[in-house]
Amino acid sequence: MKSKEIILAASVIGAIPLMVFPLPAALLDCLLAINLLFAFFILLKTLRTKNPLNFSFFPTILLVLSVYNLIILLSSARLILTKGAAFDGRLILFAASFMSDSNGIVTMVVGFVTYLIFLVLLAITVFKGTSRISEAAARFILNCLPSKQMTIDAEYTSGAITEEESLSRKCDLQRETDLYGALDGAAKFISGNFKAGICITGVSIIGGILIGTKLHGEEIVTSAGIYVPLSIAAGFLVLLPVLFESISILNIVSRLKSARSEPDINTRKNPKQVTPTQPVSPTDLLSLELGFDLIPLVDRDKGAEFLDRFQVMRRQIALDLGIIVPRIRIIDSMLLEPSEYCLKIRGVDVCRGNICMRRDEAERAGYTVVDPPSIIANHLSEVIKQYAPEFLGRQEVQQIIDVMHKDCPVLVDKVRECFTTGQIQKVLQKLLKEQISIRNMGKIMETMIEHGSTTQDILFITEKVKQALNNNTDEKD
């Protein structure tokens, strides 16, 4: 058993005697002080916590504190009703002194009204707001959980993240979901604690007045002057920690939202990667956004048909044009229609499409039905071929030159004497723009060397390369 579980079990067991046996005033003072200081410490801790997920036992602490709040209030009410004017709890007497002075009934009424205003403010603003915010946050995270898990699977399948990063992000997502649910339950428990505290305070006031007037024969004003300040003071000292706990919940929920919107560079190897809930960065060369209805197409548990089609498409484009299509980042987007998809290159929209998911109706109407993964893959294939020059930057050209240098060092050295990397890049991009394959780099370089000694005109060189590639194709035919 973990140390946290042992402490929790000991706390719950230790609360039972406090409910059964009357507490001496000195012990009650100690418990009130510890309760108040510990709640204030929890508030400071939540303000200083950078990653709320590391504070996952926070809801459990709140539940234990709430139980002790009620026990302390119950014990103080019992001690007040038992001793009456002879009550000697110092903290409660100190708080009650603000409601009993030379003005008598006036000060008591003012203190009672102030306490009611304090309760109204807590009920309307703090506790109701805490309950609504925590509930809304828990529902939101639960609704988004499947799509986030699918997005992580899609990024792992596409190679954007490693298996270790995928498992880590899934673990963090599960911890975040559990924490949201626990905070929602703790917020409701604290709200019930607040209502129970009001009831106990009210019963303590009414019971004290009845004891004073019926059993001790006191005047009702005298009896109220004894029991009302003491009961309200006890209620205030117990509800103040509850206020701190509610503010702590609000702070943790807001910190969780901030942590979710900011990538954690300590848990990822590539700081340029973005989380599923973030917009695509311009540094992402190729990205695909999917509407909610299309997310199953990239769900590994449901076959992830599109991912397989995309890999086949990458290989086919490499055979057709001689370029390597970069890995695609797949992201779910709430900004799209449920059956809509959008392809982006460097964060800029280049194409959109909408998939009709009512296949049965289309078949009955006599239409030829094509499965959605094939539709998206074919559409993306045509668009990627159209924008093929975008994928051939200086870095990619240099990699091609380096690979060629291993097999044909003389040829590469000669072409470098005539052309810069930028000029070679322009020639290759112009070929790709006309959908001409650049797989035959040996022939391309030979042609560039042949005419590079007489001219540096890129258009002329490109035209000669095209002719050489066409002649080479005709000879093979």
On whether residue 331 sits in a domain, the answer given is yes
Same domain, residue pair 405 and 308: no
Looking at the fold, whether 173 and 189 belong to one and the same domain comes out as yes
**pLDDT at residue 430, rounded to an integer:** 92
Is residue 267 one of the residues assigned to a domain?
no
Considering the entire predicted model, what is its pTM?
A: 0.49
Q: Could you tell me if 47 and 122 lie in one domain?
A: yes
d(CA 424, CA 420): 6
Q: Which of 112, 79, 108, 90 is nearest to 225 (CA)?
A: 108
Could you tell me if 133 and 8 lie in one domain? Answer: yes
Look up the domain containing 7 and give its range: 3-261
Strand pairing partners for 348? 345
Give the tens place of pLDDT for each residue, 53-80.
Answer: 666 677 778 778 888 888 888 888 888 8
The yes-or-no verdict on residue 45 having pLDDT over 60 is yes
- pLDDT higher than threshold 50 for residue 1: no
Mean pLDDT of 249-271: 52
Looking at the DSSP bridge assignments, the partners of residue 286 are 345
Residue 265, pLDDT above cutoff 60: no
**Domain count along the chain:** 3
Domain boundary among 327, 359, 388: 388
Q: Tell me, yes or no, whether 163 and 253 share the same domain.
A: yes
- Considering just the CA atoms, what is the radius of gyration of the chain in Å? 36
Task: Please give the mean pLDDT across all residues of the chain.
Answer: 79
SS3 452: helix
pLDDT of amino acid 5: 66
Encoded tokens for 69: 């709040």
Are 55 and 183 in a shared domain?
A: yes
Q: Do 20 and 72 fall within a single domain?
A: yes
Say which amino acid occupies 152. I
For residues 101 and 108, what is the distance between their CA atoms, to the nearest angstrom? 8
418 HSE (CA, 13 A, CB side) = 21
185 within 8 A of 203, measured Cβ to Cβ: no
Q: How far is CA 8 from the centre of its chain?
A: 28
Backbone angles phi, psi at 131, to 5 degrees: -65, -45
In a domain, 279, yes or no: no
Q: Is 345 helix (H, G, I), strand (E, B) or coil?
A: strand
According to DSSP, the residues that pair with 351 across neighbouring strands are 343
Nearest to 435 by CA among 389, 380, 399: 389
- What is the number of H-type helices and E-type strands within the chain? 16, 4
Give the strand pairing for 329-332 and 286-290. Answer: parallel
Q: Say which CATH number the domain at 431 has.
A: 1.10.8.540
Q: Give pLDDT, residue 444.
A: 92
Q: What confidence score (pLDDT) does residue 271 get? A: 35
Are 303 and 247 members of one domain?
no
Q: Which residues of 151-179 are buried (b: 16+ CB within 10 A; e: fewer)?
A: bbbbbbbbebbeeebbebbeebbeebbeb
Residue range 383-400, pLDDT digits in tens: 999 999 988 888 888 988
The verdict on 378 and 397 lying in the same domain is no
11-15, 161-165, 413-417, 445-449: segment of lowest average pLDDT: 11-15
pLDDT digits (tens, 9 = 90+) for 71-125: 888 888 888 888 888 888 888 888 888 766 545 677 778 878 888 888 888 787 7
Q: Are residues 463 and 379 in the same domain?
A: no
Residue ending a domain, among 334, 358, 388, is: 388
- What's the helix, strand, coil split of the chain in %, to 5? 75, 5, 20
Is the confidence at residue 16, as pLDDT, over 80?
Answer: no
User: Looking at the domain assignment, is residue 281 inside a domain?
Assistant: no
